[in-house]
Amino acid sequence: MQDTRQQILEILKRLGEVTVQELSRELGLTSVTVRHHLEILRSEGYITEPEVRRSNRPGRPRYVYRLTSTAADLFPNNYSGLASALLDSMDQCLAPEDRQAVLREAAKRMTPEIDTMPGSREARMDVVIKTMNQQGFVARWDKDANGHYLIYVSSCPYHHVTQQHPETCQIDEGIIRLLTGANPKRTQNTAQFGGLCVYELDWS
């Protein structure tokens, strides 16, 4: 990202909201240049539409800009560390059957309404892939020469977590099971190491 726009995002992160005039003073740039960068950031979805800053002082209204939730992903985070700590805590505090119940519930919460799923297998496979890709996977499905439905996952969004907690993969299996009605059998499991995870679906 261009340095000036990165600076604007960092200022917004620090202050919460700013006007064009405030950014102009802090960056040493003209208001026209600041507005140009703000418009680009707004078009990319990183800042909000300008809103009037309420004030009792007379004069022209001033408009403030804020970060959107999308911009949060541009800053360092520790989601993997938090997830690992929570899973470690589950191991310490819950019985095995309770841990399994938590993972099943997580899969359920990550799926769309199952009652609205289409009837055909192919259409269900399309919904599975769309759901997984929206959650950060890189997935596709295919059908082999024997008529078996296969799901290929070439990127796992929580691969750092699965290296210490491979049971996290049960959430993927749960999502596939809930959306297809089939039983997924993992025949390859290397997506967390830069390879592929392959699931073969059994409708019997």
Q: Give the whole-angstrom CA distance, residue 166 versus residue 84.
A: 11
pLDDT for res 23: 94
pLDDT in tens, 128-142: 999 898 888 889 999
pLDDT for res 192: 57
Which is it for strands 183-189 and 197-202: parallel, antiparallel or unpaired?
A: antiparallel
Q: What pTM, to 2 d.p., does this model score? A: 0.64
pLDDT for res 1: 59
Upper half-sphere CA count for residue 188 (Cβ side, 13 Å): 13
Tokens of 128: 């599975």
pLDDT for res 95: 95
Q: Give the whole-angstrom CA distance, residue 97 versus residue 200.
A: 25
- The segments of the chain whose pLDDT lies below 70 read 1, 54-59, 114, 191-195
Q: Which CATH class is domain 79-202?
A: alpha beta
pLDDT for res 54: 65
- The CATH code of domain 3-74 reads 1.10.10.10
Which is it for strands 62-65 and 18-19: parallel, antiparallel or unpaired?
A: antiparallel
The dihedral formed by the CA atoms of 107, 111, 116 and 117, expressed in degrees to the nearest 10 = -80
Q: Give the whole-angstrom CA distance, residue 19 versus residue 29.
A: 13
pLDDT for res 193: 59
Q: Which DSSP category does 116 fall into? A: G
Q: Give the whole-angstrom CA distance, residue 129 versus residue 202.
A: 17
pLDDT for res 126: 92
* DSSP codes joined into one string, 117-174: --SSHHHHHHHHHHHHHHTT-EEEEEE-TTS-EEEEEEE-TTHHHHHH-GGGHHHHHH
Domain boundaries, the chain: 3-74, 79-202
pLDDT in tens, 75-106: 877 888 899 999 999 999 999 999 999 999 99
